Amino acid sequence: MLRLGSRTFAAHEPVIMAIVNRTPDSFYDQGATFRDEPALARVEQAVAEGAAIIDVGGVKAGPGEEVSAAEEVRRTAGFIAEVRRRHPDVVISVDTWRHEVAEAACAAGADLLNDAWGGVDPQLAEVAARHGAGLVCTHAGGVRPRTRPHRIAYDDVVADILRVTLGLAERAAELGVPRDGILIDPGHDFGKNTRHSLEATRRLGEMTAAGWPVLVSLSNKDFVGETLDKPVKERLVGTLATTAVSAWLGAQVYRAHEVAETRQVLDMVAAIAGHRAPAVARRGLA
């Protein structure tokens, strides 16, 4: 059972986390939701299309212009407060590695801290515990935030993913983060080359067997682009194929740009697995 904010999700219930970038330089949308009006419209659309979580980020993941903690708070906290006012039941996540930003986000109404950089700021989990917020524990290979891996190597990438994420999850629980609000994330692309991310996907069942809900952030990432040799705007098919495999192997939460398409893939996989009935059943009955 996964509990985030006021929502409870059953063990086999797939959950979509919609990405809302409050940045002027996002790799995917180049700042399309940096201003309030289009960002709020994006939230409305994502909720209508089936997203249960809205993930608000104030700093792009890759290298770029330096963004201070104060500026990250300015980009995210007020927006989170407005999303909370408009959507009291939606789960709000903040994508940050800084405890100062997490503190402001939780005060504004965030339910979940999405730490994509693997606990580089150990105080982040303390903020989650203090506010009763959930926490995403991610494997990032020990690289510094907003840097790309260079010739990174692992004896066994999945073993390292499990060692790091399970350690972060247990530490968070010991600090007082609600156990049913902790997720683990293999961190596709983060501290990994394309072959590492493909192996993490292929062996995702080892993560889902560990007992914590698994979040995957696959949407339009470089490992998809390199695998198919496609630019960012042509990675949807590869993303959805990876989503289907991850769903079959037991991942629960899916961080995505394209919510409607992701919803259809997850519903189809759930139906094949026997966890969801078809939306209609007319064939062969007339």
Rounded Cα gap, residues 177 and 190, in angstroms = 24
Exposure pattern of 262-274 as b/e (b: 16+ CB <10 Å)? bbebbbebbeeee
Rounded Cα gap, residues 144 and 93, in angstroms = 22
Q: Determine how many CB atoms are found less than 10 A away from the CB of residue 125.
A: 27
221 is catalytic: yes
Reduced to 3 states (helix: H, G, I; strand: E, B; else coil), residue 124 is helix
Q: Determine how many CB atoms are found less than 10 A away from the CB of residue 132.
A: 13
- Between vectors from CA 126 to CA 11 and to CA 84, what angle results, nearest 5°? 65
- Between vectors from CA 211 to CA 208 and to CA 217, what angle results, nearest 5°? 40
Per DSSP, helices labelled H in the chain are 36-48, 69-86, 99-108, 123-131, 157-175, 194-202, 204-208, 222-228, 236-248, 259-273
- Between vectors from CA 239 to CA 14 and to CA 253, what angle results, nearest 5°? 20
Reduced to 3 states (helix: H, G, I; strand: E, B; else coil), residue 262 is helix
Q: List the catalytic residue out of 255, 263, 276, 283.
A: 255
233 is catalytic: no
Task: Tell me the sheet residues that pair with 57.
Answer: 21, 95
Reduced to 3 states (helix: H, G, I; strand: E, B; else coil), residue 125 is helix
Q: List the catalytic residue out of 202, 221, 235, 282.
A: 221
Catalytic residue set: 221, 255
